[in-house]
Structure 1
């Protein structure tokens, strides 16, 4: 969210008036949308049978950064705005039947989602947006240590996780609109910070470069 008119001429990210936007105090959201993120994780869970998301996270932890050369492009849910409305489909690269198992797949799925975010963040950077801190609810994929550590490591941003989720945020926002809260400050006054993840050391840049090379080949 920014107070400046920042936008991508190619419309790979979407600039819009945020819920707290006013003429006197402008607040413009810049939205990066990746259609294939959550559905990829859910698809992988179904494919692996009886594993829980926690067990998938534990398998991902057992594999080093870069997933032993396996890369996943998470673009299997229709055309992607960040790719210029191209529909390249989801893809798995670098798979070796003799060395790789579900552990590498579980990590490559999470890395693929993170790296697609990073690709979009590079688009945002072209508009002049500088990324220093990522704030999110402690929910969905942000409950995974691998996901958070990879996102912090590749982006260089600090991640702050709060005790909330999308439904609670929507309810608080509705409360402001309905007059239950006098202001957004009051509505979110008791929001608790649960966890902070700082960028760590690791071969995240190399892993991202390998993933991006796979993407650029698919886009060629």
Structure 2
């Protein structure tokens, strides 16, 4: 029995196949080999194309499956981790509307500062900021 892990990060996508009983890593791979592009159209902006994440996930997954030689039906569980904050906007048909605003984008900092000032730091910290 095997477990498959996916780590979808802003620099690359990592895939790891583990033997469940021993915890032994059977195969692992990451893609792309160089960091994925982060676009900054304006200072403080940080965006990526979600299609790149999917493309690199498939490449790394296929490499792990090929290297290991195991059958997909032998995988009994998967785990997925994701970059901290990545907004993906899609339409009603699940078509991508724009590049993803990722975790290191800081265009909303002035709004956060205004909220802290007008609403109060304690209330903001207890109700916002993924806490």
Q: Compute the TM-score of the two structures, normalised by the length of structure 2.
A: 0.27
Compare the two structures and name the one with the higher helix fraction: 1
* Higher normalized strand content (fraction of residues): 2
Greater RCO (CA < 8 Å, at least 6 residues apart): 2
- TM-score after normalising by structure 1: 0.19
